[in-house]
Each structure stands twice: as C-alpha cells, then as structure tokens.
C-alpha cells in the first residue's frame, strides 16, 4: 500500500539533491583560479566587470620599478613586490597599521573619480621609530573597476628617511654638541685665562702642564664631534643590512693590527682565539670599529693598578638559543676582561648615549675621563644595522664580558669540508 | 599564511574585519608611544599630549573587537584555529586598551611637568620607551603572521624592559637622596618608568595569547623576570623555556 506521504517525500529528496548540487557548483566556482606564491595571500575572485583582474594587478606590482604593494579593502596585503619586501621587511606591518596610513587607505577607498575617470590619489608621510627610524611617503590609489569588499588599492612607497635623518642629525648634533662640548670648553677657557693672567710669570712646568691638559681637552672635543657625526651617519643607513661576507680570521687580524701597540704595556695582555672558518655577514670597517670600541672600553675601564689586565677576544658558532630567533645561524664574539666589573644595575643602560658609570675614586684612571659616552652607542647602532645583538655580563671584582651575536653567512658545503 | 577559504563569505569577511580592528588598535597604541617618544626627545609636553587624545579611539576599538568577537562566536560557531583566534582577540584587545591607558597617563604626566626633564633622564626614557615600542611592534607582527616562535621570543625578552626599569628606578632613588629638591620631578619620572614597564608586561600577556592562538598551548604562569638580584621564593622559579 503506497503511503499517502510518498509524493511529499520524493519532492523533499529532490529538493535536497538540487540544493546540494547548487551548493557544490557555487563552492567550486568560488575557488581561486591558478596557484599563487606560498607567501602571497589568496586572491579574491575577480569582481564582475573588473577593469584590472587580480592576477594582472599582482603582475603590475611585480613590474613596478620601485616599492609597491596592493591592499585589500580592510587593509590586508594582497600583493607586495620584492623591492618593498626587502627594503622594509620588518617595518611593513607597523607602517600599514599606523593610524595615518589607515585613514589614508580609507580616503583612497572612497575617493571620487577625477576628470579622467580614475579615482583620486591620496598620500601621506609616516614616521616610524622602530625597528629603525624611518620616514616613508605612501601614495595610494584605488584600482578602478572593483568596488566594495573587492576593492584593491595600489600603494607606492618612497623612502624619505634621508631627509628626516638629515633634519634629525642637525637637531641631535646641536643638542648633544652644545651640551657635551661645554665641559671641555670651560676647562680650555679656564686654562687660557690662567695663562693670560699669569703672563710671563707662569713657570715652565706649570705652562707645560696647562698645555698638556688643554691639548687633552681639545682632543676630547675633537673625538666627541667625530663620534657624534659617525653615529648620525650610521643612523642614516639604518635600513641597509650589510650583505658582505667577512671572515672572522680577517677581522681579528685587522683588529690586532690596530690594537697591538696598546698592549705593549707590561700590565696588559690580549688573547685572541676563534673557531675555524667562521664567516659573518657584515661590513668590515664597521665590525673593526665595534671590536676596537669594546677593547678600548676594556682597557679604559678594566685597568686596575694591582692587576695585569687580560683581554680575551673569542669567536665561535652560536647555539640557536643565543640568537634573536632560533632559526637563524649566528656567530658569537666575546670580549672579556678581568677588570673591576660593572654593578648589575648599570648593565641594561650601558649602550645609552652619554651614559657613564662614575668610576669609583680608588680606581680612577687618567683615561676614564677621556670617554665620550658614545662608544657603546656606536657599537649598538652598528649591530642593529647588522641585525645583531649585544649584551653584557659582569661580576663585580672579576670582570666584564661583552657578547656580540651576528648573523653568520651561509657557508657552501665544500668550503666547510675543505678546512 | 591565510586560512582556508570559508564557505560562508560573510564569516570570512567578519574574521578579516576582526583582524583589521586588532591591527588598527595596535597601530594606534604604537602611534601613542611614538608621540610620547617625540615629546620626550623634544621636551615638548604638547606633542606627548596628542597621545592622550587618542585614548578614546583605542577604547572604542576595544568595544568593537569585543562586540564582533562575541557576534562571531554566537552566530558562526567557529572551530579550532578560528575559535582560538577569536577568543584570544578579546583579552588581547583588553591588553592593548590598558597599554593605551598607560600611554595617555604618561602623556599627561609629561605635559604637567613643572620643570623640564633633565637631559640624562630624557635620553634614558627615550631608550626605554623605544625598547617597549619595539616589543609592541614585534608582538603585533607576530599576531599578524601568526608566529608563535616570535611571540615566545618577545615573552622572554621583556625581562630587558624589567631590568631597564629597575636600573632607572635605582638611579632615580639615588638622585632623590642626593638632591632632595628634585624629588617632585623624580616621582613623576618614577611613575613614567613604571607605566612603561607595565606596557611591557602587557606585551607579554599578548605574547601568551598569540602562542595560545597558534599552537593551542599555554605558556608557564611565571616568565623569566629581570629581577635576578632578588631571588624568588622557592617554587616560583620560572622554568626556562
């Protein structure tokens, strides 16, 4: 006996099948076409009537000779060319989530078409403090055609850091120089006055002493100015990571050549050790500067009257835990001294500009007063540019160790086997 | 990087919107800190005060994140990674909102300074502020890239901020003992240092959420702290990651 409900059941089944079929077709049709690079996000379906289909837009970004990217309607990166990626790398995220960038994107998305039919361009300049100080000009224009949630905005980036850096350099230089030069200048003027007042009555010994001090102060001023300028120059090229390969052996030989005269003193000893075939990605001159500054500090603040100063320079491969990210191979260079050590509360602030530890009166050393307070700031600035890291460990009474982590150059296999 | 496409387009859009709101919040707080840094560097309270004015915007965004997250949970019944992401956004927005509060508190304090900050204090504050801002930037990037390793690194690195805070506090105390007429100034300075340190702490809270969001694992309740000089009571020793 046929159930009176049979026609209804059949209709229901048919309806279900139709629905499922429709859903499948709909879903399949929405799948992105073609494959994209693994790191580029999935393209959205080309909107109907689009003037510039998405894959062409991506191609456009790659073709642009300069830094460019394409943003989606909520600010997500849809495509980004190699130039922008390599130049801004870590800054890109911070740049795009900056409130000004966000409001510019909003204006670009809703810009009315101009006379030529293209949406009006919008632009802004953004300054970032981290990871490196930079200033970037963003120019945005909505790509014509797509609308609403499928809108795409082309962004061109121009680096304005240099202009900003020059401005800041001038301001910084005036501020620091006017402050830091005051003390040596006062001392100089003091002695000049003293000698003028004394006239011919100043005896030869005093005269020699005064001149000696004056010359020291003048040297200090000179060095301060040099270092301030050097630091500003380093800041200006903060964005360019050095890519040159440098052998640790070569680096140490250069450093040794520079510092050996300072260790001819009987009360000073320098030991240099390193593992075989260590290659880093670094600028040679700057790395020499780093090590010279660190060794100079060891001599300046590590010398104790009753003890032979022993400075050890050592380079080795870093363990993954020692680097900023565990995935990156690195080298660890340490500069160790057996000086009086540094109290723990000074350690975090050592690289601060003009931060000086007032030396205890008993170990006050003629050279300690010669410091500019910029040596370690320079070291840190150089290391930041290299993607390196610097930290200190110290035990009061036993000595201080500076640990410098630097990215290692990827070594070809045959070269490692050869040594 | 991007998740598989969701069949319901609207859901996908809402998730994107949630992420965009988090980005906006992060961007605003980063900008607040930048303004404070500029204010400190130029000794200009008015620049810093602009940071305080952005606080309402941060608060409003937190509300939006919360509402949207709840809406997503209620209507879309998200699962696995999506569920973790949406749930994690609520406390992360809370952490960002707190950071915004601390930032505006610093800004107000800077603008109300009776005497300008001495140069060494300004240099030190810029340094510490930059460190905190850098951690915030890194955690926002870790969130955007769903990078648990990066988040973990920041979680551990916050002890640098703690140490810096400790060093500056010690210095301030010494100054106050030596020059009692600067006590007023140093008390303000101590508050600013403390607020910066708290912002740093909130970046670690966010780091914990990012790790949870990506891996589903939770980080140990105590993290390596900068206070090495004061030994922790037994049982509270933080396990090294």
**pLDDT reported for residue A384:** 87
Q: Is pLDDT of B241 > 90?
A: no
Confidence of residue B2 (pLDDT cuts 50, 70, 90): very low
Structure tokens at B235: 């049982």
**pLDDT reported for residue B25:** 96
Q: What is the mean pLDDT of residues A80-91?
A: 85
**pLDDT reported for residue A91:** 85
Structure tokens at A12: 């229901």
CA–CA gap between residue A122 and residue A100 (Å, rounded) = 11
CA–CA gap between residue B223 and residue B237 (Å, rounded) = 9
CA dihedral B36, B38, B41, B42 (to 10 degrees): -110
How many Cβ atoms from other residues are within 10 Å of residue B141's Cβ? 21
Report the b/e string of A63-97 with b at 16+ CB within 10 A: eeeebbbbbbbbbbbbbbbebbeebbeebbbbbbb
Q: What is the CA radius of gyration of chain B?
A: 20
Least confident among A306-310, A371-375, B26-30? A371-375
Q: What is the mean pLDDT of residues A96-112?
A: 92
Q: What is the mean pLDDT of residues B119-144?
A: 92
**pLDDT reported for residue A40:** 41
Minimal C-alpha gap between B112 and chain A (Å)? 23
Confidence of residue A358 (pLDDT cuts 50, 70, 90): low
Chain A touched by B19 (CB under 8 Å): yes
Structure tokens at A184: 């040596």
Inter-chain residue contact A129 with B119, CB threshold 8 Å: no
Cross-chain CB nearest to A130 (options B17, B130, B145) = B130
Cross-chain CB nearest to B163 (options A31, A39, A348) = A348
Q: Is pLDDT of B89 > 60?
A: yes
Minimal C-alpha gap between B78 and chain A (Å)? 19
CB A331 within 8 A of CB A315: yes
Structure tokens at A331: 């080298």
Q: What is the mean pLDDT of residues B70-75?
A: 93
Q: Is pLDDT of A418 > 90?
A: no
Q: Could you write out the three-class secondary structure of chain B?
A: CCCCCCCCHHHHHHHHHHHHHHHHHHHHHHHHHHHHHHHHHHCCHHHHHHHHHCHHHHHHHHHHHHHHHHHHHHHHCCCHHHHHHHHHHHHHHHHHHHHHHHHHHHHHHHHCCCCCCCHHHHHHHHHHHHHHHHHHHHHHHHHHHCCHHHHHHHHHHHHHHHHHHHHHHHHHHHHHHHCHHHHHHHHHHHHHHHHHHHHHHHHHHHHHHHHHHHHCCCCCCCCCCCCCCCCCCCCCCCCCC
Judge residue A304's burial from the number of C-beta atoms within 10 Å of its C-beta, 0-12 exposed, 13-18 middle, 19 or more buried.
Answer: middle
Q: Is pLDDT of A38 > 50?
A: no
A 19-48 near B (Cβ less than 8 A):
27, 30-32, 39, 41-42
Least confident among A23-37, A229-243, A350-364? A23-37
**pLDDT reported for residue A39:** 42
Q: Could you write out the three-class secondary structure of chain A?
A: CCCCCHHHHHHHHHHHHHHHHHHHHHHHHHCCCCCCCCCCCCCCCCCCCCCCCHHHHHHHHHHCCCEEEEECCCCCEEEECHHHHHHHCCHHHHHHHCHHHHHHHHHHHCCCECCCCCECCEEEEEEECCCCCEEEEEEEEECCCCCHHHCCEEEEEEECHHHHHHHHHHHHHHHHHHHHCHHHHHHHHHHHHHHHHHHHHCCHHHHHHHHHHHHHHHHHHHHHHHHHHHHHHHHHCCCCCCCCEEEHHHHHHHHHHHHHHHHCCCCEEEEEEECCCCEEECCHHHHHHHHHHHHHHHHHHHCECCECEEEEEEEEECCHHHCCCCCCCEEEEEEEECCCCCCHHHHHHCCCCCCCCCCCHHHCCCCHHHCCCCHHHHHHHHHHHCCCEEEEEEECCCEEEEEEEEEECCCCHHHHHHC
Q: Is pLDDT of A98 > 90?
A: yes
Tens digit of each residue's pLDDT (9 = 90 or more) over A197-255 = 877 777 888 888 888 888 988 888 888 888 888 888 888 777 777 888 899 999 999 99
Q: Is pLDDT of A41 > 60?
A: no
Q: What mean pLDDT, rounded, does chain B reach?
A: 87
Taking CB atoms and an 8 Å cutoff, what residues of chain A touch B163? 347-348
Confidence of residue B92 (pLDDT cuts 50, 70, 90): very high
CA–CA gap between residue A133 and residue A234 (Å, rounded) = 11
* CA distances (Å), origin A145, targets A33, A41, A57, A118, A400: 19, 21, 12, 10, 64
Highest mean pLDDT, choosing among A16-20, A394-398, B95-99: B95-99
Beta bridge partners of A196: none
B 138-167 near A (Cβ less than 8 A):
140-141, 144-145, 149-150, 153, 160, 163-164, 166-167
Cα angle A121-A123-A129, degrees, rounded to a multiple of 5: 160
Q: Is pLDDT of A42 > 70?
A: no
Inter-chain residue contact B150 with A42, CB threshold 8 Å: no
Phi–psi pair at A405, nearest 5 degrees: -100, 135
Taking CB atoms and an 8 Å cutoff, what residues of chain A touch B229? 344
Q: Is pLDDT of B41 > 50?
A: yes
Which one is predicted more confidently, A329 or B74?
Answer: B74
Phi–psi pair at B44, nearest 5 degrees: -130, 105
Cross-chain CB nearest to A130 (options B137, B164, B166) = B137
| Percent of residues, chain A, with pLDDT higher than 90 | 23
Minimal C-alpha gap between A22 and chain B (Å)? 13
Cα angle A193-A194-A198, degrees, rounded to a multiple of 5: 115
CA–CA gap between residue B116 and residue B185 (Å, rounded) = 9
**pLDDT reported for residue A336:** 93
Tens digit of each residue's pLDDT (9 = 90 or more) over A122-162 = 999 998 888 878 889 999 999 887 777 788 899 999 988 87
Residue A52 half-sphere exposure, CB side, CA atoms within 13 Å? 16
Q: Is pLDDT of A366 > 60?
A: no
Chain B touched by A85 (CB under 8 Å): no
pTM: 0.78
Terminal C-alpha separation, chain B: 25
Cα angle B171-B177-B178, degrees, rounded to a multiple of 5: 90
CA–CA gap between residue A369 and residue A365 (Å, rounded) = 7
Chain B touched by A99 (CB under 8 Å): yes
Q: What is the mean pLDDT of residues A59-75?
A: 89
A 336-375 near B (Cβ less than 8 A):
344-349, 351-355
Which residue, chain included where needed, has tokens 């030596």? Answer: B178
Inter-chain residue contact A349 with B13, CB threshold 8 Å: no
Taking CB atoms and an 8 Å cutoff, what residues of chain A touch B134? 130-131
Taking CB atoms and an 8 Å cutoff, what residues of chain A touch B16? 72, 74, 76
Q: What mean pLDDT, rounded, does chain A reach?
A: 80
Tens digit of each residue's pLDDT (9 = 90 or more) over B152-187 = 989 988 998 999 999 999 989 998 999 999 999 999
How many Cβ atoms from other residues are within 10 Å of residue B23's Cβ? 21
Which one is predicted more confidently, A235 or B136?
Answer: B136
**pLDDT reported for residue A372:** 80
Chain A touched by B230 (CB under 8 Å): no
Q: Is pLDDT of A325 > 90?
A: no
How many Cβ atoms from other residues are within 10 Å of residue A326's Cβ? 12
Which one is predicted more confidently, A408 or A13?
Answer: A408
Cross-chain CB nearest to B24 (options A27, A102, A179) = A102
Chain B touched by A71 (CB under 8 Å): no
CA–CA gap between residue B125 and residue B5 (Å, rounded) = 46
Taking CB atoms and an 8 Å cutoff, what residues of chain A touch B24? 97, 99, 102
Which residue, chain included where needed, has tokens 């991007």? Answer: B2
């Amino acid at each position: 006996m046929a159930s009176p409900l049979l026609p209804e059941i059949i209709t229901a089944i048919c309806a279900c099948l139709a629905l499922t079929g429709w859903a499948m077709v709909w879903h399949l049709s929405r799948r992105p076409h073609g494959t994209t690079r693994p790191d580029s996000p999935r393209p959205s379906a080309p909107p109907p009537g689009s003037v510039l289909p998405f894959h062409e837009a991506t191609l456009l970004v790659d073709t642009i000779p300069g830094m460019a990217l394409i943003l989606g309607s909520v600010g997500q990166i849809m495509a980004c060319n190699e130039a922008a990626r390599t130049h801004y790398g870590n800054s890109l995220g911070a740049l795009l989530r900056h409130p000004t960038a966000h409001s510019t994107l909003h204006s670009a998305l809703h810009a009315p078409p101009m006379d030529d039919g293209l949406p009006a361009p919008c632009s802004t300049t953004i300054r970032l403090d981290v990871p490196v100080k930079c200033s970037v000009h963003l120019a945005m224009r909505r790509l014509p055609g797509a609308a609403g949630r499928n809108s795409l905005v082309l962004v061109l980036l121009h680096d304005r850091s240099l202009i900003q850096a020059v401005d800041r350099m001038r301001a910084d230089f005036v501020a620091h120089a006017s402050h830091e030069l005051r003390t040596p200048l006062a001392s100089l003027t003091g002695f000049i006055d003293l000698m003028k007042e004394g006239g011919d009555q100043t005896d030869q010994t005093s005269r020699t002493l005064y001149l000696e001090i004056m010359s020291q102060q003048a040297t200090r001023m000179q060095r301060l100015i040099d270092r301030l300028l050097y630091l500003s120059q380093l800041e200006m090229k903060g964005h360019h990571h050095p890519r040159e390969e440098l052998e640790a052996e070569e680096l140490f030989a250069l450093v040794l050549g520079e510092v050996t005269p300072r260790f001819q003193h009987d009360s000073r000893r320098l030991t240099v050790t390193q593992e075989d075939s260590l290659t880093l990605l670094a600028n040679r001159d700057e790395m020499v500067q780093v090590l010279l500054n660190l060794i100079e500090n060891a001599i300046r603040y590590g010398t104790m009257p009753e003890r032979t100063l022993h400075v050890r320079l050592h380079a080795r491969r870093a363990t993954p835990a020692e680097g900023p990210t565990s995935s990156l191979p690195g080298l660890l260079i340490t500069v160790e001294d057996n000086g009086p050590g540094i109290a723990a509360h000074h350690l975090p602030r050592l690289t601060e500009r003009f931060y000086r530890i007032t030396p205890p009166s008993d170990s006050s050393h003629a050279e300690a007063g010669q410091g500019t307070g910029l040596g370690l700031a320079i070291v840190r600035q150089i290391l930041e540019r290299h993607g390196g890291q610097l930290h200190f460990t110290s035990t009061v009474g036993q000595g201080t160790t500076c640990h410098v982590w630097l990215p290692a150059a990827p070594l070809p296999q045959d070269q490692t086997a050869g040594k | 990087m991007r998740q598989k496409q969701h069949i319901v387009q609207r859901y996908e859009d809402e998730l994107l919107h949630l992420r965009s709101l988090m980005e906006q919040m992060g961007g605003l707080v980063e900008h607040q800190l930048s303004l404070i840094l500029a204010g400190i560097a130029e000794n200009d309270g008015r620049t810093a005060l602009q940071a305080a004015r952005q606080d309402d915007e941060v608060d409003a965004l937190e509300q939006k994140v919360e509402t949207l997250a709840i809406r997503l949970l209620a209507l879309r019944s998200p699962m696995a990674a999506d569920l973790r992401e949406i749930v994690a956004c609520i406390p992360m927005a809370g952490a960002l909102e707190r950071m915004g509060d601390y930032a505006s508190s610093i800004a107000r304090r800077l603008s109300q300074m009776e005497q300008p900050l001495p140069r060494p204090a300004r240099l030190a504050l810029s340094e510490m502020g930059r460190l905190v801002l850098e951690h915030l930037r890194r955690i926002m990037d870790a969130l955007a890239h769903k990078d648990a390793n990066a988040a973990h690194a920041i979680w551990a690195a916050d002890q640098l901020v703690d140490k810096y805070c400790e060093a500056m506090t010690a210095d301030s105390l010494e100054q106050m003992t030596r020059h009692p007429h600067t006590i007023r100034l140093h008390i303000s300075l101590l508050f600013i240092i403390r607020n910066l340190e708290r912002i740093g702490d909130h970046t670690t809270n966010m780091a914990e959420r990012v790790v949870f969001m990506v891996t589903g694992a939770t980080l140990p309740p105590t993290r390596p702290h900068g206070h090495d000089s004061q030994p922790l009571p037994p049982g509270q020793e933080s396990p090294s990651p």
